[in-house]
Amino acid sequence: MVRDYLSQLNEPQREAVTHTQGPLMIIAGAGSGKTRVLTYRIAYLIDQGVDPFNILALTFTNKAAEEMRHRIERIIGPEARNLWMGTFHSVFAKILRIDGFKLGYTSNFTIYDTDDSKSLLRSIIKEMQLDDKTYKANYVLNRISGAKNNLISWQMYNDNPIFQAEDTAAQMPELGRIYRTYAMRCFSANAMDFDDLLFNTNVLFRDHLDVLNKYQHKFRHVMVDEFQDTNISQYLITRKLAAVTQNICVVGDDAQSIYAFRGANIQNILNFRKDYPDLRVVKLEQNYRSTKNIVNAANSLISRNKGQLEKNIFSDNEEGAKIEVIRAMSDNEEGRIISHEIFEGKLTGLKNSDFAILYRTNAQSRAFEEALRKINIPYRIIGGLSFYQRKEIKDILAYLRYTANQKDEEAFKRIINQPKRGIGDTTVAKIVVTASDQGVSVWDVVSRIRNFFEGRAANAIEGFADLIRSYILMLEEGKDAHAIAMHVAKTSGLLHELYMDKTVEGVARHENVQELLNSIRSFVDNDENEDKSLGAFLQTVSLLTTADEEDDGDNDKVTMMTIHGAKGLEFRHVFVVGLEENLFPSQMMLKSRDDLEEERRLFYVAITRAEKQLTLSYAQQRYTWGKMTFCEPSRFLEEIDSKYLRLGDKGIPQGFETAGRNPVSPQRPAIVGEPVKRPSPASNLKPVQAAKPVETHVPSPDFVPSDTKDLKAGDQVEHPKFGFGEVKKIEKMGATAKAVIFFHNEGEKTLLLSFAKLRIL
């Protein structure tokens, strides 16, 4: 059996699979068969006699873990179910369910999602009588998250004068106090946020060596996928777990490290050898996914990064088509061009699902959605509103959370008046304050409401408490997750309220709740889930990522998503759109070399999603914050060796028209602290439809823009870039005025007069 699957591997892959003792780093280039190697390596370990219970494999999505588990099961059988395999958060949540009592938590602790955390922070900011426009919940949460990912507790934060000085300078001197209150409120609610799952695991291993020792001897082999995306907290945990056996295997690609904004630290992979001097390094350099042209283009781009591990990614696939570069006049035209490219591609036999449109920000999807709808091409957006973030779903889940954990204050606040019971915000606030003053939980007050309140509100709260007691009784009787969820949906009044709403939106919300109940039934009926309790289901849901969620079953759709969301995916034909300065690379990522190199790695990830065809596009102008702005082609277009590019016949990129002409704009901002460096001219580009050579216009020595409010047809003008021309007509729409101008060297162009710099001759 071992010989059979080993024969399917190339030499470096085989080495990675069979090297089982001591530290190992597998540098896995894009499309190099990383998942197959990880799968076979685990199967090989089990074939060599390692107990699956002694193998820990950490991934970044539950979907990746399940895919690997099923592959391993096909090779070695049901023993694969005994592996400790899952995301960092799911595995550490499991450890904390078992041993978190040493930190003061019960095993049924709630896991707060981002919305829960923000809601709690807004409450704290309001209670402290701070300005919520200064102390924005999103910023405060990011600040706290950054501290936790660097293992900085609220005590350490408040004792550090540097943090205090930074917060004072940012006019938020109370951040430390908010962090302290937030941490204490989470603890009193028997709740952890996502960052706590990592932070508290570190604390558990640091302060309770007996627990650390238990897991060090349990996990004889530790494997970490996507190692370039780990943060300090994740790395320290895995290093501690592997300290006894030193059998740690990390798999990753520094060229695909794109999550610094989430706390990922690329130095973990770049400096791994320093922590393990006897490290074995295996490089998976053959790309099985993409054509030679795509792989070589990606290599030419990423070679400009200084901070990277040495490797030589290559492909033995066909040469493939050159990468098409398309210039559009506007973002709307960009949407139309790309949608028609997809339409034409389908005429050659491709399916909708063969295409993906990747963009830097979610806001860019609008133009493509409109264009695809107009020609009836179905699409799906990945990373939009998650199924589990919909209001009706969160309402039901909040009831289930409160059933499992009556200390969960955020769940209580969500359901106490949902559906309407005549319990206002003032009453809820009084309950919370009373609980705080009495030093008890909110449930202690609610369950004995007559000891604290009287009147109509007390009657409603008493009815609510009786309802929750009936749910708790089902839980104590050992009813499974589906039985409890069905009872909650019916008796809470939520399902009836949605059923009575016959609007299109109401019907959709009712169907969503039915789908949730179906998913809980599926969870209970799944033989692989030994624990079918409500608590087990809630943990599964709370740790889902967007990438883990099921779609609607119709897979033949064009996929649209951000590049960050596309990591690990592949498509036959990929469109990377919006390649403009200050959009991609993002304006926020031009402050340092490290930031720019991460943006370049992001573009590298986008390129390497393509199997057969890759199209790059940009717009000359797009609306930003409600105003039309003129755009400059991204520097990344210039950084790809021009021999791999083909100028699309839908438009020739500005700056690429003339052989030997340097397309870099002299106005482009340099990276702070770094001299401006110009890439070599794109002199080998050959347009599909040859453009008439033009001379670069040099503005007149006396060029000063004129006041254009009285500009009229027939006026002769000079533009600093397009040269001399004649105004053909003026178009006015409200306060906005456009001029249609025929330029002698550039042809006809339409310019917004509020932005155009024109000298009237």
Annotated active-site residue 35? The verdict is yes
Distance, CA of 597 to chain centre: 18
DSSP E strands, 542-683: 558-562, 571-576, 610-624, 627-630, 645-647
Question: What does the alpha-carbon distance between residue 120 and residue 389 come to, in Å, rounded to a whole number?
Answer: 17
Question: What does the alpha-carbon distance between residue 650 and residue 652 come to, in Å, rounded to a whole number?
Answer: 7
Structure-derived torsion over alpha carbons of residues 465, 466, 472, 476, reported in degrees to the nearest 10? 140
Q: Determine contact, residues 27/252, Cβ cutoff 8 Å.
A: yes
Question: What does the alpha-carbon distance between residue 580 and residue 632 come to, in Å, rounded to a whole number?
Answer: 6
Catalytic residue among 113, 225, 334, 597: 225
Distance, CA of 498 to chain centre: 32
Annotated active-site residue 420? The verdict is no
Catalytic residue among 226, 331, 333, 408: 226
Please count the residues of the chain: 761
Number of other CB atoms surrounding residue 486 within 10 Å: 15
Name the phi and psi angles at 704, rounded to 5: -140, 125
Catalytic residue among 14, 15, 18, 35: 35
Give me the sign of the Cα torsion angle 494, 499, 501, 503.
positive
Amino acid letter for position 412? F
Residues 564-578 as b/e (b if ≥16 CB within 10 A, e otherwise) read bbbbbeebebbbbbb
- Angle between helix axes 209-218 and 232-241 (nearest 10 degrees) is 70
Catalytic residue among 34, 394, 401, 557: 34
| 627-631 contacts at long range (C-beta below 8 A, 24 or more positions apart) | 628/752, 628/755, 629/755, 630/755, 631/580, 631/581, 631/582, 631/583
- DSSP symbols for 329-379: EEHHHHHHHHHHHHHHHHHTT--GGGEEEEESSGGGHHHHHHHHHHTT--E
Q: Tally the C-alpha atoms within 13 A of residue 176's C-alpha that lie toward its C-beta.
A: 16
Question: What does the alpha-carbon distance between residue 749 and residue 747 come to, in Å, rounded to a whole number?
Answer: 7
Burial class (CB in 10 A: 0-12, 13-18, 19+), 238: buried
Annotated active-site residue 256? The verdict is yes
670-to-217, 593, 595, 618, 721 alpha-carbon distances in Å: 52, 10, 13, 21, 21
Question: What does the alpha-carbon distance between residue 537 and residue 475 come to, in Å, rounded to a whole number?
Answer: 13
Question: Helix H segments across 219-259?
Answer: 232-241
Question: Helix H segments across 622-712?
Answer: 635-639
* CA proximity to 126, closest of 137, 115, 117: 137
Contacts of residue 608, Cβ cutoff 8 Å, sequence gap at least 6? 30, 31, 256, 287, 289, 290, 294, 295, 298
Residues 98-125 as b/e (b if ≥16 CB within 10 A, e otherwise) read ebbeebebeebbbbbbeebbbbbbebbb
Catalytic residue among 256, 434, 620, 621: 256
Question: What does the alpha-carbon distance between residue 288 and residue 33 come to, in Å, rounded to a whole number?
Answer: 7
Q: Determine contact, residues 256/563, Cβ cutoff 8 Å.
A: no
Catalytic residue among 413, 601, 609, 635: 609
Annotated active-site residue 226? The verdict is yes
Active site residues: 34-35, 225-226, 256, 609
